[in-house]
Amino acid sequence: MRFPTRTPLFAVASLLLACAAAIAQSTQAPGATQGPSAPAAPTATTAAPPATPPADPPILPLSDPPTGLAVLPPSQLSDLAAEHIRAASVRLQDYIYLDTEHNQNYIDGALVVDHTTVSESIFIGGLPYLRKLSVDGHPLAGKDLAQENKLYDNAVKERTSLNEETRARLMKHDIGKKTDDLDHLASRFNVIIAGHQVLDDHDCLVIDATPIRGTTDPDLQRHIQIAIDPTTKNVINVRIEYLADDNGFDRGTLLETRYHLLGGTIALPYEQTFDSVVQVPQLLNKKIHVVKTHTYSNYRKFRATVTIESVDGPPPPEN
C-alpha cells in the first residue's frame, strides 16, 4: 500500500520514506540555517506518550435483506470504491487548498520532534506542488521565504517547459499510483461487505479486505476497510493496518484517510493520519514512533484567466 506525502491520496511507500527522512531533521525554528553536516540526533523533551486516537464507530450488521449497493458483489463494490478514489484525485487538480501537517516523533516514549507546517497545495502544469507558508505558527520570512519562493519559481519553470507527452505521462502516473493498490482488490485479498457504519452523518457500507490464506508477500499483509456512502457512492473513509513488519515499519502501522462532501456532492479528503514505529538508519537504527496528521482545509476552485488587451500599431514581426 502507498500513501503520498505531498497529496492526500493513496501512495504509502513515498509517505513512509518521507517520514523516515523527516525524523532525522533537527528541530530548528524558522529562520535558522542548516549546515551541510549530517543531522544530529534529536534532543528528547519531557512529554506524555501520544494519545490513542478515538475509535471509529462500530460496524453494525446489514439489514436483511440488503438493499441498494449492498446487493453488489464485494469485488464490484471494491472496484467502485477505487474508481471514486481515482475521481477524487482528478478533482483535486481544480482546487487550491491548505495542508496542515502535524508531525510528532517519539524515542523510548520521549518526544523528540514536534512540528506543525502549513502549506498551500496547488497544481502546476497538472502536477501537485506544496508551497510552504509557515512552520510552528511562524510565517516564513527572510532567507526561508526567499528559498521557498525560489523553489516555487523553479517548479513553475520546469513544469511549464515540459512537452505535452511528458506532462501527460507524469499526470497519468501520479493519478494511477494512488489507486493501483485498491484496484481489483478482490483478486488479491479476501473481500466481504462487513456491515454498515455511521461516519460524519453518512451511513456507510464497509468493505473489509484481509490477506488470502498462504499469502507471504509483505505488501499483501494488510487489513483494509473502505467505507462508502451508498447514496452518493462516494468513499468516506479508508483505513489500512499492517499485519506484519514491512521494510522497517512495524506491524500495527495505521494509515487512514477521511473524506468529506464539498457542497454535499463532491468527495475531497479532509484528514489523513499515519501512525507507525519505524527504524531509521541515520539514527543508528533506533525505533521511532511517528504520528503524523494532515488536515486539508480552505478548498478554493482554481481558475486560470486570460486578459486580451488592445494595443496600438501593427503586431511584432514573427521570427
Span 106-129, mean pLDDT?
90
Any domain includes 85: yes
In a domain? residue 2: no
Q: Is the pLDDT of residue 300 over 80?
A: yes
Looking at the structure of the chain, the number of domains it has is 1
pLDDT tens digit string along 258-292? 998 887 778 899 999 999 999 877 777 788 999 99
| pLDDT attached to residue 165 | 56
Query: Does a structural domain hold residue 43?
Result: no
- Structure-model confidence comparison of residues 89 and 299, the more confident one: 299
With cut-offs at 50, 70 and 90, classify the pLDDT of residue 84. confident
Distance CA(81)–CA(73), nearest Å, equals 13
Domain assignment present for 162: yes
Question: What is the model's pLDDT at position 196?
Answer: 87
Under DSSP, is residue 170 helix (H, G, I), strand (E, B) or coil? helix
How many angstroms separate the CA atoms of 161 and 163, rounded? 6
Query: Would you say residue 8 has pLDDT above 60?
Result: no
Mean pLDDT confidence for 287-304:
88
Element holding 147 (H helix, E strand): helix 142-160
Please tell me the distance from the alpha carbon of residue 210 to that of residue 1, in angstroms, as a whole number.
Answer: 13
pLDDT category of residue 13 using cuts at 50, 70 and 90: very low
What does the pLDDT read at residue 35? Answer: 34
Percent of the chain with pLDDT over 70: 69
* 286 within a domain of the structure (yes/no): yes
Q: Please check whether residue 240 is in contact with residue 210, taking contact to mean a CB–CB distance below 8 angstroms.
A: no
Per-range mean pLDDT, top range of 71-75, 115-119, 182-186, 213-217: 115-119
Exposure on the CB side of residue 83, measured as CA atoms within 13 A: 7
238-251 pLDDT, tens digit per residue, is: 999 999 998 888 99
> According to the model, what pLDDT value does residue 181 have?
63
* pLDDT score for 257: 94
On whether residue 268 sits in a domain, the answer given is yes
- Residue bearing the bigger pLDDT, 313 or 74: 74
Q: What is the pTM of this model?
A: 0.74
For residue 218, give Cα distances in angstroms to 89, 244, 256: 26, 7, 19
Beginning with the edge strand found earlier in the chain, give each strand of the sheet holding 222-228 in spatial order: 138-139, 127-135, 110-124, 95-107, 286-301, 266-280, 254-262, 235-242, 222-228, 202-211, 189-199
**Structural domain span for residue 89:** 12-25+63-301
Helix, strand, coil % over all residues of the chain, rounded to 5? 25, 35, 40
Residue 313 in any domain: the answer is no
Question: Is 75 domain-assigned?
Answer: yes
The region of weakest confidence among 44-48, 58-62, 169-173 is 169-173
